[in-house]
Structure 1
Amino acid sequence: MKRSFLLLCTALTLASAISCTEANGDEAADATEKTDKKKKKKGNDESLENSLIAEAVPGLRSVGSLGGVPESSGLAPGEQAGTYYSFGDNGNSPILYRINETGKVLDEISIGAKNDDWESLTRDNKGYYYIGDCGNNQSDRRNLRFFRVKPASPQQVDKISFSYPDQTEFPPKKKQRHFDCEASVWHDGQLWLFTKDQQEQSSYVYTVPDQPGTHTAKRISTINIPSQVTDAALSPNGQRLILLGRGELFILDGSSWNDILKASPRRVNLAGTGQTEGVAFKDEKTLLISTEQGGLYEYALQ
């Protein structure tokens, strides 16, 4: 009798275990199916988004997100291929964020300098990066500067202070507030500054030496840009300049730097991207563009 009872209990236990295993297997299968559906939906959503963007702006597509970079306001290529640097603007910590081509943060580098209003980022051919702490919406700052730094030694920072030769009032009248700069490129031993015109009519071009010290900027020319310039990038071969606006960009081509500065800008509408604030060349034909809202886009130049 005891043997029969034991056999019955064993059978019931096995049956229960099998039932639970099957139930768990069904639950796991359901979870996997839900995950697959979510991935498929996300993929479909991204494909739809890119289709809509490409339809509005041929050559433009979303490639990722800068969720780890607060209010991205500058962009420059990193030392390794496929990496870039960005940072947050006014009010954010003095940190360079090293990211990949989809916006994933690979490293956070604390810079030994203050972030009053970082707005632009460019690099030279010796591995130095120049952080433009020259955001100046009200044209009332007297402490405009660039910080020259190498990411490998972020606490060793050289300061390049400058002032504008044609500014005498701080601030000037609203229609004369042309001393806000959010765009710069390094070229031939100079930092080239492209100002942001509140009236959206032009961008003044200045130069500042790339050496530490206190300098008076030199005004070079004026480019007719019907927008507020928020960043700039020079192509690897030095024959194309990009001036970024808010939701648009301008292309200036030339066989020499002087020709580029005299070229008539070609406008590209970046409808739907948001407040575009950072631009860098991935290669001669492709741009990477960031927005203050955290969007990251790729644009194939025509």
Structure 2
Amino acid sequence: MTSFFLFLFSLKVALCSCHAEKKHSGFRSGRSLYTVTRSGRFTKPINESSGLAYNPNRKTFWTHNDSGGRPTLYEVASDGSLVDSLPLPALKNQDWEALALPDTTSFFIGDIGNNANTRRDLRIYRVNATQPSDFEQIAFHYARQQTFPAAKDTRNFDSEALFAAHDSLFLVSKNRSKPRRFVNLYGLPAKAGDYALLPIDSVFLKSMVTDAAISPDGRTLAVLTYGKIFLFDLRNNRVSFRHPTRCLRVPRGQTEGITFLNKTDLAMTNERGRLFFIRKK
């Protein structure tokens, strides 16, 4: 972004509100229930943090760079300092946008960026954490997409949000359609294959979705957008948007990654590599 457009974007994020989502989707304000603190900033070679996952055993974070970056995962401490790196030369970072580490044994890397709605090679890599040369490719496409690119008023075949639950993977669409209305939830098996995805749920969110995460107890879903976090209750071991609860305003720039620290607290990063903690009071 040029400086001028970056300024306009930052202003738009700073002025965002939860009003539309409260009215249309039933969220309640949650900002007063949480504290937001800046923890640190990632250093080189992390120059455009896009995905985020927490390792509770080591109390560290894993992240990666955005499209065109090296196919490498970076382990960082809570102050942003680099702890380790995991090169994955057999993989290609066409547009890595999301990262999940559900049980510390396997990374799920979402090469799923599709802003222009033109890609026919969307995929998720499942990488063995102890044997990184051992990986599977999970390919998918959106069953309802008929043209590449999709028409501007239907440009909702894009995702930057990936999380794992109940031996499955879930995606939340970013939604670049005009006018912007609903984001979709998709599910697919967490194993190698080629899948045609249909929405399993949808919800009105005015902002574009950039990541999502599920709490360790499986009872809360957090969906990150530019400037806001939306929380959903998950009931009966079912992943859905049926029970929206809170909307948190967190205007901290172009926020791109989110992960749970425990069943209530979260960490969030923006593309400039700043790391924030969102803790329940």
TM-score range, shorter chain: 0.7 to 0.9
Q: Give CA-to-partner distance per residue, 1:73-127, whole Å, 9 cap, x none.
A: 0001226331111000111111100111222111111112000000011123471
Partner residue of 2:53? 76
Partner residue of 1:97? 74
**Which of 140, 158, 171 matches 2:136?**
158
- 2:269 counterpart of 1:290: yes
**Which one has a larger percent strand, Structure 1 or Structure 2?**
2
**What are the within-5 Å matches in structure 2 for residues 135-154 of structure 1?**
135-154=113-132
**Alignment partner of 2:272: what SS?**
coil
The answer to which structure, 1 or 2, has the higher relative contact order (CA under 8 A, 6+ apart) is 2
Q: C-alpha separation between the residues in 2 aligned to 1:286 and 1:57? A: 11
Give the 3 Å change call, closer, same or farther, for CA 209–260 of structure 1 in structure 2: closer
**Which one has a larger percent helix, Structure 1 or Structure 2?**
1
Q: C-alpha separation between the residues in 1 aligned to 2:280 and 2:121? A: 37
Give the 3 Å change call, closer, same or farther, for CA 156–79 of structure 1 in structure 2: farther
Gaps of 5+ in 2: 1-30
Q: C-alpha separation between the residues in 2 aligned to 1:123 and 1:279? A: 12
Partner residue of 2:208? 228
Q: C-alpha separation between the residues in 2 aligned to 1:80 and 1:243? A: 24
Gaps of 5+ in 1: 1-54
Q: C-alpha separation between the residues in 1 aligned to 2:239 and 2:261? A: 23
Q: C-alpha separation between the residues in 1 aligned to 2:60 and 2:239? A: 30
**What are the within-5 Å matches in structure 2 for residues 1-302 of structure 1?**
59-68=35-44, 69-78=46-55, 80-111=57-88, 112-125=90-103, 127-199=105-177, 200-258=180-238, 260-271=240-251, 273-301=252-280
Q: Normalization by structure 1: what TM-score?
A: 0.77
The offset of 1:254, in angstroms, is: 3.3
Give the 3 Å change call, closer, same or farther, for CA 93–131 of structure 1 in structure 2: same
Q: Normalization by structure 2: what TM-score?
A: 0.83
Give the AA of the match of 1:241.
Answer: L
CA contact (8 A) 2:209 2:223 kept: yes
Give the 3 Å change call, closer, same or farther, for CA 99–184 of structure 1 in structure 2: same
Q: C-alpha separation between the residues in 2 aligned to 1:234 and 1:189? A: 13
Q: Give CA-to-partner distance per residue, 1:229-285, whole Å, 9 cap, x none.
A: 1001100111100000012111112333437520125211112x1111011111122
User: Percent of counterpart pairs with the same letter?
Assistant: 32
Give the AA of the match of 2:140.
Answer: F
Q: C-alpha separation between the residues in 2 aligned to 1:60 and 1:231? A: 18
Give the 3 Å change call, closer, same or farther, for CA 198–257 of structure 1 in structure 2: farther
